[in-house]
Amino acid sequence: MINITLDGPVTIDELEPAMLEEAINAAKNSDVAIVFAGSNRDYETEASDRASLKLPFGQEELISKVLEVNPNTIVVIIAGAPFDINTIEEKSSALVWSWFNGSEGGNALADVLLGNVNPSGKLPWTMPKKLEDSPAHATNSFPGDESVTYSEGILVGYRWFDTKNIEPLYPFGYGLSYTNFEFSGLKTDKEVYNTSDIIEVTFSLKNSGVMDGKEVAQLYISNPDSQVEKAAQELKGFKKVFVKSGASENVTILLSAKELAYYNEVKKEWLVEPGTYNIKIGNSSRDIKSEVSIKIIL
């Protein structure tokens, strides 16, 4: 197994022919290849905005050519924000998002790739299929002039994609594991609550695979009969649970009914709207496993 990286200065969207050929030959003669791609802190920084989601430095070409000669290629993305990886996602058999990790990041990544550690990370944002799907671009709000108007209103991030039913490349909360988990038995301790109550949500989480692992159970709330604009669903709680292979764990997530409040612009205060709420449990915003309904009374 070899690691393929690009060293030395590279102009944007161009590859050094000799280095590209070296990478292709190395991949061709290896059982498994690993391509590290993404960005660096000079290219991806809080001091400026990227003009597009395109991978810089000719990396898409590099990945494509390596995959052509060795399908057993792991693509590791080092980045803190989305890139257009539609083509890479289709062609690669293993894709790892490694973020900007610290000094022990290499050891941690090696443990995951070698199967010493079962990954359990989840996306804290939505990976769009194209830039135009994102709210700031879909509403033509970006880049703006001297100021930017957030025309999406309350539909920030995954709320926009879920409410507008825009299919993402990877949804908010997404993340794979080397094992499989099954959700069952979702219930609440009561059916009717007032605004001062604590909602007790319980369910069973089973590890039906062959490897011990952790799953991040995510609790979403929707209020379909609301009289005011609300997102299709909102994350209101989560819990990471370790489950041994073949075992099950009973999981409880507590939710204060006050967390269901919205800000009333007329009264200028937070209010909980009475009515029916759907409580959903899943492992991403687009993979809801089960749901139950409760009522809130004043």
Domain 2-113: which topology? Rossmann fold (3.40.50)
For 142-170, the pLDDT digits (tens) are 877 777 788 999 999 999 999 999 999 99
Chain CA centroid to CA 143, Å: 24
Give the Cα separation of 193 and 295 in Å (integer).
6
Record the tokens describing residue 92, joined without a space: 């690669």
Match 């709420």 to its residue by tokens.
277
For 199-224, the pLDDT digits (tens) are 999 999 999 999 999 999 999 999 99
Q: Where are the domains of the chain?
A: 2-113, 181-297
Instruction: Provide the terminal-to-terminal Cα distance of the chain, rounded to the nearest Å.
Output: 63
For 205, other C-beta atoms within 10 Å of its C-beta total 23
Lay out the sheet containing 181-188: strands in order across: 181-188, 198-207, 248-256
Given this structure, which CATH class describes domain 181-297?
mainly beta
For 229-258, the pLDDT digits (tens) are 999 999 999 999 999 999 999 999 999 999
Residue 234's nearest CA partner among 167, 160, 296 is 160
